[in-house]
Amino acid sequence: MPGFELFGDKERKQVQDVLDSGVLMRYGFDGMRNGHWKAKELEAALAQRMQAQHVHLVSSGTAALTVALASAGVGAGDEVIMPTFTFVASFESILALGAIPVLVDVDDTLTLDPDAVEKAITPNTKVVMPVHMCGSMANLDALQSLCQKYGLLLVEDACQAIGGSYHGKPLGSIGDLGCFSFDYVKTITCGEGGAVITNTEAYYQNAHKYADHGHDHIGTDRGAEQHPFLGYNFRISELNAAVGLAQLSRLDEFIALQKRNYTILREALSSIPEVVFRRVPEGGEENYSFLSFFLPSEEVAQKAHQALGAKGVDACFYWYNNNWHYYRKWEHLTNQKSLGKLPKDVKESLPDYSKADFSASDLWVGRNISCLIKLGWTEAEMKKRAKTMLEVIQSSM
């Protein structure tokens, strides 16, 4: 991770097809295309790879989350359960629809704790949204059982986890809807892009219309299409889709490189008794984009993280103090800072996160370090990196 490390002839060829046709928009201009429909081709390839009946491409992972929730009818006052450890896009997409993000503790998987989820369910809860952070998954069996018990939707945020699986099924394909990001630093990239996948025809029909101003996409005259409901513009371009089409064809190559480098590092750090690796739920396989582990205390984790940086070991993250990925620095959410007035339903229903107790999350995230696994590292470079990390972490105990 990420895919931009290995751009090559496949990506250039796909992009050149689009430039040669001169059609950068995914809809219309049929006669000019020379048979090139990159977005449609990528949707078909993703459907096959993700074992999903329907795929719709959008402009970003954030757009994918927003479109997925909207397609399932999530709106004003509905509650969406999400983890304390994620990217801010999770709650942004919820708030954009006038819905309420309900933050819930994570456990040693670094994803939603099913027990905490059940305690957070109210009559207004509509969706449980696990976020498969850093390439690994939540306990989806337990979360599915809760959703069935309480009549809720399961929407997987698999934006960081393409290529991972759970009981043999691709992450993102297990819930009612799944979302992916193809931004510049994801395992495969479109530059900017995302996708919604589902096996529910109604959600797909809603998604492709909602993401294009409500166009119903019936017929060949775009100006004559009907608009059955309000929508917005979350379209992907043909240029972005072209890059993604090439990158998807290389996903197995990328995952294999990640697994090799991940394994070298994990085997080295396994010799330290105090290092405990994040728990991967039984039946799950990571996409190996990060190696995440816990140290004995918050103090040791911070000391080790600082020492790694001082030794030139880049791409190791201490999320506990991160501005974008952990609830502690989300002052704009806590203080409800927005350019315009927030909807009444949000103002009246948003929990007071300044008083929230997420000490259970702090217990895990405060002791965690997550190391990005780059594609471009050679085996020799990875072994050298692992040796340095081993020495630094041991000296930090």
* Domains of the chain listed by start with CATH number: 3-250 (3.40.640.10), 252-396 (3.90.1150.10)
What predicted TM-score, i.e. pTM, was given to this entire model?
0.97
The pLDDT of 148-173, averaged and rounded, is: 98
Confidence of residue 250 (pLDDT cuts 50, 70, 90): very high
Confidence of residue 94 (pLDDT cuts 50, 70, 90): very high
What angle in degrees, to the nearest 10, is found between the helix axes of 38-49 and 9-21? 140
Task: Assess contact for 324 and 88: CB atoms under 8 A.
Answer: yes
Is it the case that residue 355 has pLDDT exceeding 90? Answer: yes
Give the number of residues written for the chain: 397
The pLDDT of 43-50, averaged and rounded, is: 98
The pLDDT of residue 1: 82
| Percentage above 90 pLDDT, the chain | 99
How far apart CA 271 and CA 352 sit, in angstroms, is 43
CB-based burial of residue 329 (10 Å sphere; 0-12 exposed, 13-18 middle, 19+ buried)? middle
Is it the case that residue 19 has pLDDT exceeding 90? Answer: yes
The pLDDT of residue 148: 98
Q: Is 155 helix (H, G, I), strand (E, B) or coil?
A: strand
How far apart CA 302 and CA 396 sit, in angstroms, is 9
Find the catalytic residue in 38, 126, 186, 209: 186
Other CB atoms closer than 10 Å to residue 167's CB: what's the count?
12
Average pLDDT score over the chain = 97
Chain mean position to CA 1: 13
Is it the case that residue 336 has pLDDT exceeding 90? Answer: yes
The pLDDT of residue 93: 98
Chain mean position to CA 174: 14
How far apart CA 385 and CA 153 sit, in angstroms, is 42
How far apart CA 277 and CA 364 sit, in angstroms, is 11
CA distances from 142 to 42, 113, 117, 280 (A): 32, 9, 10, 14
Query: What would the pLDDT profile of 256-291 be if each residue is shown by its tens digit?
Result: 999 999 999 999 999 999 999 999 999 999 999 999
Task: Assess contact for 281 and 169: CB atoms under 8 A.
Answer: no
Confidence of residue 370 (pLDDT cuts 50, 70, 90): very high
Reply yes or no on whether 384 is catalytic: no
The pLDDT of 80-90, averaged and rounded, is: 98
The pLDDT of residue 154: 99
The pLDDT of 76-100, averaged and rounded, is: 98
